[in-house]
Structure 1
Amino acid sequence: MTNVIDRTVMGLCARLPRGGYALAKMAAELRPSLRHFPASLPFADFELKGDVSHNVFYPLATCGFYRHQLVEDDILAHLAKRSNTIIDVGANIGFTAALLAASAPKARVICYEPLPVCQPYLQQVAEYFRNIEIVRKAVGDAPGEAHFLQRQSIDRSSLAGKGEAPVTDTIAVEVVTLDSLHSGDMVDLLKIDVEGFEPAVLGGARQMIERCAPMVVFEAYEADVLEFCRKFFLDISVGYDLYAIAMTGALRPLDVDAAEPETCNFLAWSTSRGPLSDLQIRPSYRR
């Protein structure tokens, strides 16, 4: 009976044109079972259990994926199939890590995420996808300790001081560099989503990127972050081209003189990997 009631509530939330998340939060206050609601992921026979009052889990509870990142998911899944070693910096609750692991079951998927609230989710994902490794540390340009800002919107939490979502907690976390932890690894794919801290992650990964020339999918909301990333890859000796990931699914060469109103996601493609024209992107899971 509990399961039927919970699914009925979440089905109603999903059908509401607006206000569904607010209703889910109120319902979770009354029904503790909604804090352990099973969300079915569309690319695996796996249910991720989580709290529907967490903004980052609510979309998975209602439809199983994030509508705003469908194109990025398809590109990451395609690139994962070409990869043996994948690094996910800013793994959050593990949806992308699960997609990468499902798309490349023989690949090693290494996830970096320091936020304690995300760990129960990541642990479930790692227990199901045995090719996933979790590193509960932040990534930056120098090893040490830093203060991680946990925000009301969990997916907006980061080491960067940017962001409009209210800060609910400040957590001391260990910071590592990709250069120091992966000096002996041949990394094929690097995904970075750290809410404005992308420059620091890249700064601590220069040697690895020079050596491995990985495919890099990164987020850049702010113009200064995008400009840093552009100059960073321009300076890499192996040679990189940058592409904007359009909402239509197209990969457009990055135009530094034009704004990118459609996207905040980008692909850095090493020219050493050959032309990008053979990239045939298909849906990675059912919508």
Structure 2
Amino acid sequence: MWLFKYLFTNLYRAVQTPNGRRLLWLFFRYAGRPRHQSGLIPFINYRFQVPDALSFVWQFKEIFADESYRFTTTAAHPIILDCGANIGTSLAYFRQTYPTARILAFEADPAIGEVLAKNLRDNNIPDIEIINKAVWVDENGLDFGTGEADAASMFSDTGRRRVPSVRLRDYLLRETRVDMLKIDIEGAETAVLTDCRDALAHVQNLFVEFHAYIGHQQTLGEVIQVLESSGFRYYMDSNQGRTRPLVNHRYRGNDIMDLQLNIFAYRP
């Protein structure tokens, strides 16, 4: 049994839960599709328009199978801010898991924002405020590249344009308590968190997807310093799993990013 678990750890974990088994089916059915082609994918009780099947399957793994965004709260109406809501997979999870929550969703990419709104509307996922603007340190707009699939960012050169922005700090200061703050904004996280340093005291749970882009300074230390000075405990994980990192400086030939981390922060 232990040898089986060692050799087939991911498969062993997946078959233990309904969503784990759904993940295996999604991998089998959709992961081999040509990249960056839009289509409809049914899952659980939903049917989502997705711009890239493989990216969606990984989203389902992280959000529904692993439940990476689950948190505990005693609030009758939790406050959730989802920065980088993409096509709405995380919003479906939040609404399903926390049905009485007040949810604000931010998405910078105009085209993805349209898909997001359609997915929520077509799947009857109610009462979510969508702000189709980039989360940033001011309201002056942000130069933003669309990238491919879920790779849109301020560092992308593809389809580059200026998009409207909001200052996240202002939204945080309007609330007396934020139960969950999710930040997946493809490279803007360090600047945004630094700007929000004095507005995090009432944030109970925080998820940050940290990115380091090749040719740009790595700023993980700045993010960790903000978390520590704000009184969070944190846990970090990487979905890259790079072997021989002192020799292999790229993740599967990625010429854009050389580090991506999931950071989970919470009040002790």
Q: TM-score, normalised by structure 1?
A: 0.65
Aligned 8 A contact 1:89 1:111 in 2: yes
CA distance in 2, matches of 1:125, 1:205: 30
Q: Which residue of 2 aligns with 1:88?
A: 82
The structure with more helix, counted as a fraction of residues = 1
Distance 1:40 1:130, change over 3 A: same
Distance 1:59 1:202, change over 3 A: closer
Give the drift of 1:72: 8.5
Aligned to 1:79, the other structure's residue is in SS state coil
Aligned 8 A contact 1:142 1:204 in 2: no
Aligned 8 A contact 1:233 1:268 in 2: yes
Residue 267 of structure 1 pairs with residue 264 of structure 2: yes
Give the drift of 1:95: 1.0
Structure 2 counterpart of 1:147, from 140, 143, 148: 143
- Unpaired runs of 5+ residues, structure 1, are 1-10, 26-34, 248-260, 272-287
- Unpaired runs of 5+ residues, structure 2, are 1-24, 240-257
Matches within 5 A, 1:118-137: 118-127=112-121, 128-137=124-133
Q: CA RMSD in A?
A: 3.2
Aligned to 2:170, the other structure's residue is in SS state helix
Give the drift of 1:81: 6.2
Residue 189 of structure 1 pairs with residue 185 of structure 2: no
Aligned 8 A contact 1:80 1:104 in 2: no
Aligned 8 A contact 2:63 2:93 in 1: no
Q: Which residue of 2 aligns with 1:235?
A: 229
Structure 2 counterpart of 1:244, from 236, 243, 253: 236
Amino acid in structure 2 at the alignment position of 1:175: S
Residue 156 of structure 1 pairs with residue 148 of structure 2: no
Residue 74 of structure 1 pairs with residue 67 of structure 2: yes
CA distance in 1, matches of 2:30, 2:89: 24
Distance 1:86 1:116, change over 3 A: same
CA distance in 2, matches of 1:110, 1:73: 23
Show CA shifts across 1:182-232 (max 9, x none). Answer: 42212110111112211122123223312x132101112338232211111
Q: What count of residue pairs does the alignment treat as equivalent?
A: 217
Aligned 8 A contact 1:220 1:226 in 2: yes
Amino acid in structure 2 at the alignment position of 1:172: R
Q: TM-score, normalised by structure 2?
A: 0.69
Give the drift of 1:262: 11
Residue 101 of structure 1 pairs with residue 95 of structure 2: yes
